[in-house]
Structure 1
Amino acid sequence: RQAAAFLGLVPILKESGTSVKLRSHLSKAGAPSIRRKLYMAAVVSTRCNPDVSEQFARLKARGKPTLSALGAAMRKLVHIAFGVLKSQSEYRPQGT
């Protein structure tokens, strides 16, 4: 989670006084160049990676906007990459 937060991929909710009905958006705290690369990787992963495409389809079916679902896909890619680095093993999708 800290890696995703470092890259600015965690949702934040802006509140002001009594207005709490605003949509959440990505915090954008990290480097924008990395976020741009993750965005393109997420777009491709929604078609090619079974784990990411399943999550993307599930979020879209629940009525989430496309960019919100892509933000979740970007975050999932960071979690996958961190898991691969931490375990020092090859990535194997859950479906296989």
Structure 2
Amino acid sequence: MVLFAAFAGAALWKRRQPEIHRRLILLSTAVVVTPAISRLPFVPNAIVALVLSTLFVAAGIVHDWRSRRRVHPIYIWGGLIILMSGPVRFALGQTGAWHAFARFLIE
């Protein structure tokens, strides 16, 4: 949710710059669909879901390349941030501190 808030917040901030805004919206969508993709019956684990959700970013990169002959840097940086966040989230999710925090939220 942190990445979604960051990308969506940046998109709101840059809403008067459509070249940046639309790419940030696509990045925020890629972040949000990862949990939904991981719940599909044919997706074996969350890592595969993360990779599949980056296809949204890949589609944007391909569109940029075919239509403008260059890739907007937001796709590069945003895609890298999304990919790097996966291992960090998986590692943090296994810690005792995270489990304690989750228990606190549930109780």
Q: Confirm or deny a common fold (TM above 0.5).
A: no
Q: TM-score, normalised by structure 1?
A: 0.35
Q: TM-score, normalised by structure 2?
A: 0.33
The structure richer in strand per residue is 1
- In our comparison, the structure showing a higher alpha carbon Rg is 2
